[in-house]
């Protein structure tokens, strides 16, 4: 027999149930098409050489050959990690291409040594992987790259690229009647999951070109597919899951946003990433005064998606017992909302909140959970009037017949936060103290960017009081009393020597500091203090980003202010603005076609992905013993050593930057936070009970 390893390819889509469990092996350095780690493989289950070759052929691939690929350009680290995961100490040999099958066939060890072993012996096989390295707007879903999994009564067909498997546009809920909750979708038959479903209705933009009221779809990225979830569970093969909840003020955002494509995070972090659509604006949050339609429709979407993941994710290689809910901005608000919902307990094992506000001011409405009646008076009456539905006999029916696309027009009022409806949400906020506080038995990670809201205030005044008045109106809490506080720039001994331009910069810096403290930092510190003190969570890890990279949609003055085009962000100071950490957490900077500004953006992204995925896998900010070494992630390993232990102490914050990374005490902010009225004990006497 000859050339079995070169069996002819065909376009038939393989089914994991027949093929067996498969993993995509790669060494993802987040360098996208600039990577030199260009050699990977598909790992197929143990079998004879002939069966391994047949499995490769069913994947429209060939048995991997060391004569045509350089083992040291990626497969070395990938196989080292495979041995680590399987705890076999490198004793397993993997089938590779054999030009002829007689008695002995070629196999390779984890260190790249080619050996021969009996062809009728059993061992895992390595197949080539012709899937491309996906770039922004260049998706290859041709049939040769497709694969099908069974989930419930559905056969769901996705595709693979160089780094993993993707399943897009999977329905998790039927279309819901407007202003009602979603229910779990139980479908059957074949599903094409090679393209995204439409986002939920809102104004169209480049990141979400298709929107609809029928929008309850989710996406999965995974490096591993299990043919037998029960066996994979027994062998601890299933991957931790990161369940992404997008931001956008709860008035915008979708799971189709290419900036948050989950493949790099799934591949480098060895996790399964899920994103999904939930309704935004009035369609997600408009509360009526009828005791039934209480404005928690988007929350039902999130819960339904989470239940779908709990029920089905093992069919995509994910572990339903290790789901981390994760979001930024309004997404962080929604993570915090899930922490406040009793029926959500047990559906996730950890939580990450990036740039989520506390319960004060205008931004705090999202987590303070007012009653439906209060929100009806504050928000819904305005929406009814603007929609021509005020004063009608049946407000609900009128709004159901209204053109919802008009709610997204400029200047229109949009509901954007849930209510304390008594069904999902029983209290004001997440109880962190007092008799309502209890242990959630999960770890959480919570933090912010150094200058979150700096971009909201024009740098045009040398009068600190002017900015305090602006901030009072913008933030929604009294701040003018800070005119002579520790924030006041005129207390600087150099103030009298400043030029008018320098005074404007000093006032702007002070405004960036107190506004970020008021909305984000102070109550993040207070959250950590009370949560740790009162044992509400197993651990609370706090962070501050001092390196950010703003998305391209930030234009004009904010683009400059927030350092988008700063060619030396390590040494040239800039403002670390809202949402600027997100590109690092997904590892998608070069994939998006953005430049690495100073050669440190990509290594920093690797570090953040390694931290975030470690939290998902272990519930701590530390990777498993031997993990980083097995993967060849020595750069991150050294940087984590430099940073020092990231503990869950209620007074420590990890400052995330490339040079100078490390812990600082949250106590350093307490003078200013206390002056604002948001000291570390803010939650110790907080009223979590009913509020009318």
The three state secondary structure string of 92-130 is CCEECCCCECCCEEEEECCCCCEEEEECCCCEEEEECCC
Q: Strand 211-212 relative to strand 199-200: parallel, antiparallel, unpaired?
A: parallel
Q: Are residues 561 and 633 in the same domain?
A: yes
Q: Let me know if residue 150 belongs to a domain.
A: no
The band of 690, judged by pLDDT with boundaries at 50, 70 and 90, is: low
Q: Let me know if residue 572 belongs to a domain.
A: yes
Listed in sequence order, the DSSP H helices in 297-369 are 297-312, 330-339, 365-368
- Confidence (pLDDT) at 89: 64
State pLDDT tens for residues 463-505.
999 999 999 999 999 999 999 999 999 999 999 999 999 999 9
The full length of the chain comes to: 692
Identify the H or E element spanning 170.
Answer: strand 165-171
Domain count, the chain: 3
Burial class (CB in 10 A: 0-12, 13-18, 19+), 230: exposed
How many Å apart are CA 632 and CA 600, to the nearest integer? 18
The band of 601, judged by pLDDT with boundaries at 50, 70 and 90, is: very high
Q: Let me know if residue 61 belongs to a domain.
A: yes
Burial class (CB in 10 A: 0-12, 13-18, 19+), 540: buried
Angle (CA) 361 363 366, round 5°: 110
The mean of the pLDDT values for the chain is 95
Structure token pair of residue 127 = 């197949």
Return the C-alpha torsion angle 623, 605, 334, 406, nearest 10: -160
Decide if 156 contacts 148 (C-beta within 8 A).
yes
Angle (CA) 268 136 621, round 5°: 25
Which residue has better confidence, 5 or 305?
305
Q: Let me know if residue 139 belongs to a domain.
A: no
State pLDDT tens for residues 629-661.
999 999 999 999 999 999 888 789 999 999 999
Which residue segment(s) compose the domain that 486 sits in?
Answer: 445-685
Find the CATH number of the domain harbouring 104. Answer: 3.10.100
Structure token pair of residue 306 = 């989470």
Q: Are residues 559 and 674 in the same domain?
A: yes
**In angstroms, what is the C-alpha Rg of the chain?**
26
Compute the average pLDDT of residues 50-61: 97
Cβ atoms within 10 Å of 138's Cβ, excluding its own: 12
CA 482 to chain CA mean position, Å: 36
Find the CATH number of the domain harbouring 563. Answer: 3.40.50.1820
Decide if 3 contacts 57 (C-beta within 8 A).
no
Q: Which of 127, 149, 175 is the last residue of a domain?
A: 127
Q: State the residue for tokens 């987040």.
A: 30
Q: Are residues 367 and 476 in the same domain?
A: no
Task: Work out the percent of the chain whose per-residue pLDDT is above 90.
Answer: 91
* Least confident among 442-446, 455-459, 496-500, 552-556: 552-556
How many Å apart are CA 415 and CA 330, to the nearest integer? 13
Q: Strand 539-545 relative to strand 153-160: parallel, antiparallel, unpaired?
A: unpaired
Q: Look at residue 60 and tell me whether its pLDDT is greater than 60.
A: yes
Structure token pair of residue 353 = 């909140």
Q: Are residues 456 and 404 in the same domain?
A: no
Q: Are residues 8 and 122 in the same domain?
A: yes
Structure token pair of residue 584 = 């690092």
How many Å apart are CA 220 and CA 243, to the nearest integer? 10
Compute the average pLDDT of residues 570-594: 97
Q: Strand 224-225 relative to strand 22-25: parallel, antiparallel, unpaired?
A: antiparallel
Q: How many CA atoms lie within 13 A of 1 on its CB side?
A: 14
Q: Which of 361, 383, 408 is the last residue of a domain?
A: 408
Q: Helix (H, G, I), strand (E, B), or coil: what is residue 162?
A: coil
Q: Are residues 239 and 94 in the same domain?
A: no
Q: Which of 68, 98, 127 is the last residue of a domain?
A: 127
State pLDDT tens for residues 238-287.
999 999 999 999 999 999 999 999 999 999 999 999 999 999 999 999 99
Q: Strand 239-245 relative to strand 272-276: parallel, antiparallel, unpaired?
A: parallel
Q: Let me know if residue 91 belongs to a domain.
A: yes
The band of 556, judged by pLDDT with boundaries at 50, 70 and 90, is: confident
Q: Are residues 563 and 474 in the same domain?
A: yes
Compute the average pLDDT of residues 296-320: 98
- Confidence (pLDDT) at 598: 97
Identify the H or E element spanning 339.
Answer: helix 330-339
How many Å apart are CA 548 and CA 569, to the nearest integer? 9
Q: Look at residue 101 and tell me whether its pLDDT is greater than 80.
A: no
Q: Are residues 473 and 592 in the same domain?
A: yes
E-strand ranges in 450-568 read 539-545
Q: Let me know if residue 140 belongs to a domain.
A: no
Structure token pair of residue 220 = 């999965």
Decide if 160 contacts 145 (C-beta within 8 A).
yes
Compute the average pLDDT of residues 109-136: 95
Buried b (16+ CB within 10 A) or exposed e, 101-111: beeebbbbebe
How many Å apart are CA 647 and CA 645, to the nearest integer? 6
Cα–Cα distances (Å) from 359 to 96, 135, 194, 477, in that order, read 59, 39, 41, 11
Cα–Cα distances (Å) from 20 to 17, 44, 147, 374, 378, in that order, read 6, 7, 12, 55, 56
How many Å apart are CA 452 and CA 260, to the nearest integer? 20
Q: Are residues 404 and 450 in the same domain?
A: no
Q: Are residues 219 and 117 in the same domain?
A: no
Q: Are residues 312 and 370 in the same domain?
A: yes
CA 362 to chain CA mean position, Å: 25
Cα–Cα distances (Å) from 481 to 232, 484, 515, in that order, read 60, 7, 14
How many Å apart are CA 416 and CA 423, to the nearest integer? 18
Q: Let me know if residue 155 belongs to a domain.
A: no
Q: Let me know if residue 474 belongs to a domain.
A: yes
Q: Are residues 617 and 497 in the same domain?
A: yes
């Amino acid at each position: 027999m000859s050339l079995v390893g070169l069996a002819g390819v065909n376009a038939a889509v393989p089914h994991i149930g027949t093929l067996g469990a498969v993993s995509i092996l790669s060494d993802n350095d987040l360098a996208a098409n600039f990577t030199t780690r260009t050699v990977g493989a598909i790992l197929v289950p143990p079998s004879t050489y002939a069966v391994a070759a047949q499995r490769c052929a069913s994947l429209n691939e060939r048995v991997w050959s060391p004569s045509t690929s350089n083992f040291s350009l990626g497969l070395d680290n990938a196989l080292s990690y495979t041995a680590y995961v399987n705890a076999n100490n490198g004793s397993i040999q993997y089938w590779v291409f054999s030009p002829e099958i007689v008695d002995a066939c070629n196999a390779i060890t984890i260190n790249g040594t080619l050996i021969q072993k009996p062809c009728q012996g059993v061992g895992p096989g390595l197949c080539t992987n012709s899937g491309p390295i996906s770039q922004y707007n260049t998706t290859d879903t041709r049939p040769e790259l497709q694969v099908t999994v069974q989930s419930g009564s559905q056969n769901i067909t996705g595709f693979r690229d160089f780094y993993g498997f993707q399943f897009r546009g999977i329905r998790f809920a039927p279309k819901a009647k407007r202003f009602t909750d979603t229910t779990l979708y139980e479908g059957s038959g074949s599903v094409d999951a090679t393209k995204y479903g439409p986002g939920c209705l809102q104004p169209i933009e480049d990141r979400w070109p298709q929107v609809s009221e029928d929008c309850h779809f989710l996406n999965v990225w995974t490096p591993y597919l299990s043919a037998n979830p029960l066996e994979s569970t027994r062998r601890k093969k299933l991957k931790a899951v990161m369940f992404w909840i997008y931001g956008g003020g709860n008035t915008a955002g979708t799971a189709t946003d290419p900036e948050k494509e989950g493949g790099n995070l799934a591949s480098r972090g060895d996790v399964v990433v899920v994103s999904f659509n939930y309704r935004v604006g009035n369609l997600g949050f408009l509360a009526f005064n009828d005791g039934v339609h209480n404005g928690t429709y988007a929350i039902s979407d999130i819960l339904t998606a989470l239940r779908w993941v709990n029920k089905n994710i093992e069919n995509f290689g994910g572990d339903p017992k290790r789901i981390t809910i994760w979001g930024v901005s309004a997404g962080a608000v929604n993570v915090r909302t899930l922490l406040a919902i009793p029926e959500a307990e047990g559906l996730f094992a950890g939580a990450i909140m990036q740039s989520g506000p506390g319960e004060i001011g205008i931004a705090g409405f999202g987590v303070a959970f007012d009653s439906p009646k209060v929100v009806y008076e504050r928000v819904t009456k305005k929406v009814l009037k603007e929609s021509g539905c005020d004063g009608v006999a049946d407000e609900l029916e009128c709004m159901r017949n209204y053109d919802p696309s008009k709610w997204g027009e400029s200047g229109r009022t949009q509901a954007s936060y849930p209510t304390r409806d008594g069904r999902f949400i029983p209290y004001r906020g997440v109880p962190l103290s007092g008799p309502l506080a209890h242990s959630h038995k999960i770890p959480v990670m919570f933090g912010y960017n150094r200058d979150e809201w700096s971009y909201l205030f024009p740098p045009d005044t040398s009068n600190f009081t002017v900015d305090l008045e602006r901030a009072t109106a913008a933030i929604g809490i009294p701040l003018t009393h800070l005119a002579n506080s520790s924030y006041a720039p005129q207390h600087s001994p150099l103030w009298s020597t400043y030029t008018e331009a320098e005074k404007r910069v000093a006032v702007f810096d002070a405004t960036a500091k107190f506004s970020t403290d008021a909305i984000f930092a102070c109550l993040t510190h207070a959250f950590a203090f009370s949560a740790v003190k009162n044992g509400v969570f197993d651990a609370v890890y706090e962070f501050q980003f001092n390196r950010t990279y703003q998305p391209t949609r930030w234009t004009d003055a904010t683009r400059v202010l927030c350092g988008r085009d700063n060619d030396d962000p390590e040494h040239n100071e800039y403002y670390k603005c809202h949402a600027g950490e997100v590109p690092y957490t997904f590892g998608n900077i070069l994939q998006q076609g953005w430049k690495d500004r100073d050669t440190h953006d990509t290594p920093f992204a690797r570090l953040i992905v390694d931290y975030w995925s470690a939290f998902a896998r272990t519930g701590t900010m530390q990777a498993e013993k031997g993990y980083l070494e097995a993967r060849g992630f020595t750069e991150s390993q050294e940087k984590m050593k430099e940073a020092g232990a990231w503990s869950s102490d209620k007074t420590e914050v990890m400052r995330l930057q490339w040079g100078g990374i490390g812990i600082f005490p949250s106590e350093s902010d307490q003078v200013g936070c206390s002056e604002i009225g948001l000291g570390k004990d803010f939650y110790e006497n907080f009223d979590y009970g009913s509020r009318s």
